[in-house]
Structure 1
Amino acid sequence: MHLAVVACGERLEETVTMFKSAVLFSFKCLHLHIFAEDQLHARFMEALESWPGFIRSRFNYTVYPIRFPSENAAEWKKLFKPCASQRLFLPLILKDIESLVYVDSDILFLQPVDRLWDFLSRFDSAQLAAMAPEHEEPRIAWYSRFARHPFYGRTGINSGVMLMNLTRMRSMFFKNDMTSVGLRWEELLMPLLQKYKLNITWGDQDLLNIIFHYNPELLLEFPCQWNYRPDHCIYGSNCASAEDNGIYILHGNRGVYHDHKQPAFKSVYEAIRKYSFGADPVSSLLAPLEEQLLKTTHTYCGKSHALFTKALVHSLAGINGKAVRLR
């Protein structure tokens, strides 16, 4: 399984914690594709190589420089957040990779990556990407209220967790509102940016929304429990799939892992960050997390604290199962 992330600025520890959650719970071997600024390369390698051997056997990794088309590199790099639009160019850079999971650095896996990877088998003959909706309720969704450009579906899509069939993305001709003929991925991106750059707020995510607005048949939606953000609980719970089965992937956007605005999100991040590989996952991760979550019930997200551990319990049981098999 291939997992890609882009890390610029002060994102090293956050990214390493994301990798920790991915490697900890997954069953198949992972190949980590790390796109990072040059000064972070050695630090990523040092962090990952410091993990114990039994963990290192579960993954390998490649570190890449940040790469944008040379004629517009500065414009792409500063779009929205530093380097965030690198994800748009993964099909053109990773030419030998068929499919991958792209995630933002502020993602935490609470279920094995394998379960997200399985969505690839649900793609029909046309679909080439999968994402979760930006919101579940159009009346309070950002895109349906404020967007000044076309967007996917009723509420738009969030690109923080994205499953990509790169082979199909490279070969597809995409419908668009700039020409009557379809354009390949590499032909589409810059004209799209030039047309909409004064009307987009969320950078590359907005460009993806425009693309899939005109090509909705190419996208598979997965439920919000696979990309659970503060928006899903900050004003009351509004992610039905998480209510039913728990949170599978936690997305701590808006910096909530590092401030005190959403302590439930920060509690999960800190529990995984502090966990030591090989320690008992129940007493060393789950128990202290549950204790911290009980201190967050003064917030709406904290009131839904059971959702943060509902799926995690099963993942931690899987860790013990892997340990038994390794012995």
Structure 2
Amino acid sequence: MTHLVRARTIFFVTPAALVIKSVLMLNKTIDVILCRCMYTMTGRVRVATITLAIITHVWVLNLILCTSLHNKQSARGKKSYIEPRLLVSGSPSVEAPAVVVVCKAHNSSSNNPAQDAATGQGSLLLRESWTRQLEQLDLMLKTLLYFSKSDKWRIIVMTDTVSTFNEVVKLTHTFPERHRQRLELQHEKVWFPDKYPGIKEHWRPCVWAKQFLAEALPHEDSVVYFDTDVVFLGPAEEVWSLLRSMKTGQVVSLAPEPQYILDNPKRPYAGRAGLNTGVIIANLTRLRQLPGGGLGSAILREGSFYPLPRHDQDALNHFLMNKPHLVQEVTSRWNFAPSSCFSSAPSCPDCVSAGILVLHGADATFYRHIDRKFLVVYHSMRSLRLDGDSQPVLEQLELQLALVDALRSKFPCSNYSNLNHALTLGLKDAATLKVQPLPQH
């Protein structure tokens, strides 16, 4: 595998074209309102309605223009600068495969996750929805292929049944042939210790399986694990650079989970603000040197499994709380969840300078009304076509993000500085850059 460093110039300015597009959309809307008023109202009612419509029009335009001006003013004094960015070329997953865990809940009955979210039918249906999981996995694979320059992706799909694996493979049948040929999906069965027969169903089906990767995959030296509710916003192969940056003795690389800071009552956590297990960069050879022969087995031996039922992420944080030497803690660029926007979260300068690489819709965030910008990104990216142009998707996404800002609603990421830039930088690259992968050596 070879590397190259690309120089990148960053500008923190909202495009004026975005504001112009918003104005045109609002003009069209006001025209419709005025026409309806002319034909359905008379006298003072007509005048009052037209006046109200014009006031509303001016108010919304003012919000958009003020938002744009605020972004420009906040950028003053921040000169453009060159940010070295490490690119990984070739196909790193051939030697260190990507891993996903997919299990179907026995009581999964929700076939319309979007409707469940809209009607507030709750979180439980959404969390266990098989339809939602397949939709998210479909977009995960598409964005992985779209932004990547690797000609081969080896992905280990760990499931509890062969039929579940076949459903995952079926997702790729709609992909263009040349992209389907880039995927090498390999089936492995999830592994759990015999002494803990109920652990498979703890919290959610198979959620604990990612803690037993070293035990389940004895022939692999290193892997990169992803939850199925992630969307790639740039070349996924960059994540593999974290395997090389791990120091001697470090067994995993993990990003922060700042939710732990705000929890009341407090839960034990590791790192600066807790650790999130949605993306795990794991050296399995080193993990096998832990007591029991793997991370999950070591957690069980130490008793971090209790009290029952315990979330696997909580157990991992409890286990690593006093073992910082085992962890390479990275920024939220590699695993960006809504909690990454909390004011108490560790800073992430590379989120803005290099762009968010992995967006994590934890806890059905891509369907629930937790953060509006996560919803906007997810639904915009679903319109992405593997052989299509990213420019229309980019323009649509930029416009919708600007409108969300103009509404000034409160949600976790509403005050995160330059977030729109961080969310769209990968699409801008895809629209403007033509970087060819280097040949493997």
Q: TM-score range by the shorter chain?
A: 0.7 to 0.9
Counterpart in 2 of 1:276?
Answer: 385
Instruction: Give the counterpart of 2:317 among 182, 188, 209.
Output: 209
CA contact (8 A) 1:26 1:113 kept: yes
Aligned in 2, Cα 1:57/1:322: closer, same or farther, shift over 3 Å?
Answer: farther
Q: Does 1:313 align with 2:431?
A: no
Q: What CA distance in whole angstroms lies between the structure 2 residues aligned with 1:126 and 1:153?
A: 16
Counterpart in 1 of 2:102?
Answer: 7
Shift of 1:173: 3.1
Shift of 1:293: 1.9
Q: What CA distance in whole angstroms lies between the structure 2 residues aligned with 1:195 and 1:165?
A: 21
Q: What CA distance in whole angstroms lies between the structure 2 residues aligned with 1:236 and 1:315?
A: 32
Shift of 1:220: 0.7
Instruction: Tell me the percent identity.
Output: 25
Q: What CA distance in whole angstroms lies between the structure 2 residues aligned with 1:197 and 1:208?
A: 11
Counterpart in 1 of 2:348?
Answer: 240
Q: Does 1:264 align with 2:381?
A: no
SS at match of 2:286: helix
Q: Deviations over 1:285-314 (max 9, x none)?
A: 212222222232234425633321134422
The one-letter code of the counterpart of 2:172 is L
Counterpart in 2 of 1:179?
Answer: none
The one-letter code of the counterpart of 2:276 is N
SS at match of 2:204: coil
Aligned in 2, Cα 1:195/1:211: closer, same or farther, shift over 3 Å?
Answer: closer
Counterpart in 2 of 1:190?
Answer: 300
Q: Does 1:21 align with 2:116?
A: no
Shift of 1:92: 1.0
CA contact (8 A) 2:367 2:375 kept: yes
Counterpart in 1 of 2:290?
Answer: 173
CA contact (8 A) 2:273 2:346 kept: no
Q: What CA distance in whole angstroms lies between the structure 2 residues aligned with 1:47 and 1:307?
A: 29
Aligned in 2, Cα 1:184/1:35: closer, same or farther, shift over 3 Å?
Answer: closer
Shift of 1:196: 4.3
The one-letter code of the counterpart of 1:273 is R
SS at match of 1:260: coil
Q: What CA distance in whole angstroms lies between the structure 2 residues aligned with 1:148 and 1:63?
A: 35
Counterpart in 1 of 2:53?
Answer: none
The one-letter code of the counterpart of 1:57 is Q
CA contact (8 A) 2:231 2:360 kept: yes
Shift of 1:58: 2.3
Shift of 1:270: 1.8
Q: What CA distance in whole angstroms lies between the structure 2 residues aligned with 1:21 and 1:236?
A: 30
CA contact (8 A) 2:202 2:208 kept: yes
Aligned in 2, Cα 1:184/1:34: closer, same or farther, shift over 3 Å?
Answer: closer
Counterpart in 2 of 1:178?
Answer: none
SS at match of 1:274: coil
Aligned in 2, Cα 1:261/1:208: closer, same or farther, shift over 3 Å?
Answer: closer
CA contact (8 A) 2:356 2:423 kept: yes
Counterpart in 1 of 2:184?
Answer: 60
Q: What CA distance in whole angstroms lies between the structure 2 residues aligned with 1:306 and 1:237?
A: 19
Shift of 1:147: 3.6
Instruction: Give the counterpart of 2:397 among 260, 267, 289.
Output: 289
SS at match of 2:382: helix
Q: What CA distance in whole angstroms lies between the structure 1 residues aligned with 2:196 and 2:309?
A: 17
Q: What CA distance in whole angstroms lies between the structure 2 residues aligned with 1:129 and 1:63?
A: 23
SS at match of 2:376: helix
Aligned in 2, Cα 1:49/1:97: closer, same or farther, shift over 3 Å?
Answer: farther
Instruction: Give the counterpart of 2:364 among 235, 255, 274.
Output: 255
Q: Does 1:84 align with 2:204?
A: no
Counterpart in 2 of 1:141?
Answer: 261
Shift of 1:236: 9.4
Q: What CA distance in whole angstroms lies between the structure 1 residues aligned with 2:278 and 2:191?
A: 19
CA contact (8 A) 2:299 2:305 kept: no
Shift of 1:251: 0.8
Question: Unmatched 5+ residue regions in structure 1?
Answer: 175-182
Shift of 1:55: 0.9
Instruction: Give the counterpart of 1:160 among 278, 291, 303.
Output: 278
The one-letter code of the counterpart of 1:168 is R
Aligned in 2, Cα 1:91/1:173: closer, same or farther, shift over 3 Å?
Answer: closer
Aligned in 2, Cα 1:122/1:88: closer, same or farther, shift over 3 Å?
Answer: same
Shift of 1:111: 1.9
Shift of 1:122: 0.9
Q: What CA distance in whole angstroms lies between the structure 2 residues aligned with 1:91 and 1:27?
A: 28
Counterpart in 1 of 2:239?
Answer: 116
Q: What CA distance in whole angstroms lies between the structure 2 residues aligned with 1:195 and 1:246?
A: 35
Shift of 1:225: 1.5
Q: What CA distance in whole angstroms lies between the structure 1 residues aligned with 2:146 and 2:345?
A: 28
Q: Deviations over 1:78-130 (max 9, x none)?
A: 22222111101111111111111111111111121221101111112211210
Counterpart in 2 of 1:129?
Answer: 252
Q: In terms of Rg, which structure is larger?
A: 2
Q: Deviations over 1:120-144 (max 9, x none)?
A: 1111221121001212xx9x7146x
Q: What CA distance in whole angstroms lies between the structure 2 residues aligned with 1:82 and 1:58?
A: 29
Q: TM-score, normalised by structure 2?
A: 0.63
Aligned in 2, Cα 1:226/1:315: closer, same or farther, shift over 3 Å?
Answer: farther
Aligned in 2, Cα 1:142/1:98: closer, same or farther, shift over 3 Å?
Answer: farther
CA-atom RMSD, angstroms? 2.8
CA contact (8 A) 2:100 2:156 kept: yes
